[in-house]
Amino acid sequence: MSGRLGLLAALVAAALVLSAGPAAAQTTHYVGEEGNSPANFGWDPPELEIAVGDTVRWCFSAAAGDSPPCEDIEAPHDVHILDSAGQPVAASDVFPVGGGADAYFEYTFDSEGTFTYICQIHPSTMIGTLTVGGGGGEDTIPPTTTILLNGAAPVSTYDGPVEVTLQAGDNAGGSGVETTEYALDGGDFQEYLGPFTVSEEGEHTIRYRSTDAAGNVEEPKEVTFTIDVGGGGEEPAALAVTVKPKNKRAKAGRKVAFRVRLANTGDQAATDPKVCVKAPRKRVKPANGRCWTLSELAGGEQRSARFALKVKKPAAGKRVKVRFVATAEGIKRQVRTVTLRVAKRKR
Ligand SMILES: [Cu+2]
């Protein structure tokens, strides 16, 4: 007869375990009896924090499982599980003293919440509190996220697209990483779903953080890097000069003018650029200054100036070469030559 009862209990227990589904493979926690008289019977432990999917076994015999707290009970007990609204969730039969290996009751908790476990024979002392968390007991430590750029520790400059990988891990014994997020170039945080690529040239900032299942949020970390493809944007300054017109008829005693345009065809700024006019002193005299001087000419910038020249009398009937010489600090000079064809003097 006791054999039949034992078989029945085993079947009930097996059915309970099976009903728990795939999560039943997770941790099993044990609760036993404490005390030795109706005045001080209690649960051991009286409080329990478990993860979703964990199983709790209330045992009423040393043969019922892990010991301690499974011990032979001093009096008959049962267990009723109530939810936070006091509604019954599950209940066992009454286990007699010396119940044997099958003298336990198990339940698997598949959702978060707070529950009460109570022996209805000793309800004032055998009352316990069970907290089912999102995956962890008392994890209060946030996870740690590591960033990899092109599969390695970040450096300051890249010459092409950058693949961003975020790796997150929770502390040992923690509840586990739930989400990892990143914010690109001052944008909102978005969930990281896998490596992504940043390819736009210029400076980029990525902020990143992870959150564990217990809700601990990592203080965001930040990395800044620059993408500079092929060194573009760093071409040295270079001068280009044009002078118009290239040939000009002139008369001795009169002025002529040339339009000079100076351009910086590089990317870096040209420092102290200037254009100076050079011509035979006896024949031509600069009328508004020999040199046109700038403090700087930015990359890609161009400016123009007007040079006025007074043609002297000895130039009459001559062809006069006038040179415009452009220079800047550390840059190859550029020269343009124009010709003045000065009319003969009339008698
Ligand atoms: Cu009891």
Distance from Cα 15 to the centre of ligand 1, integer Å: 24
Based on the domain organization, do 115 and 11 belong to the same domain? yes
Q: What is the DSSP string of 192-260?
A: --S-EEE-SSEEEEEEEEEEETT-PBPPPEEEEEEE-GGGTT-PPP-EEEEEE-SEEEE-TTSEEEEEE
Q: Is residue 347 part of a domain?
A: no
**139 in a domain, yes or no?**
no
Ligand 1 centroid–CA 102 distance in Å is 17
Structure tokens at 319: 């062809």
pLDDT above 90 as % of the chain: 56
Q: CATH code at 301?
A: 2.60.40.10
Q: What is the DSSP letter of 152?
A: B
Q: How far apart are CA 304 and CA 64, in angstroms?
A: 99
214 and 301 inside one domain: no
- What CATH number did the domain enclosing 112 receive? 2.60.40.420
**CA 136 / ligand 1 centre spacing (Å):** 29
CA–centroid distance, residue 135 to ligand 1 (Å): 30
Tell me the CA–centroid distance for residue 120 and ligand 1, in Å. Answer: 6
- Per residue in 23-34, pLDDT (tens digit) is 334 789 999 998
Confidence of residue 172 (pLDDT cuts 50, 70, 90): low
CA of 32 to the centre of ligand 1 (A): 11
Between the alpha carbon of residue 20 and those of residues 9, 27, 38, 66, 83, the distances in Å are 17, 12, 33, 20, 17
* Predicted local distance difference test score (pLDDT) of residue 241: 94
Q: What spacing in Å lies between the alpha carbon of 46 and ligand 1's midpoint?
A: 13
CB contact at 8 A, 43 and 70: no
Q: Are residues 311 and 248 in the same domain?
A: yes
**228 with 156: CB under 8 angstroms?**
no
Q: How far is the CA of 108 from the centre of ligand 1 (A)?
A: 21
CA–centroid distance, residue 49 to ligand 1 (Å): 22
- 93-97, 172-176, 218-222: least confidently modelled range: 172-176
Q: What is the pLDDT of residue 347?
A: 59
Q: What residues make up the domain containing 260?
A: 239-342
Q: Which helix (H) or strand (E) holds 32?
A: strand 28-34
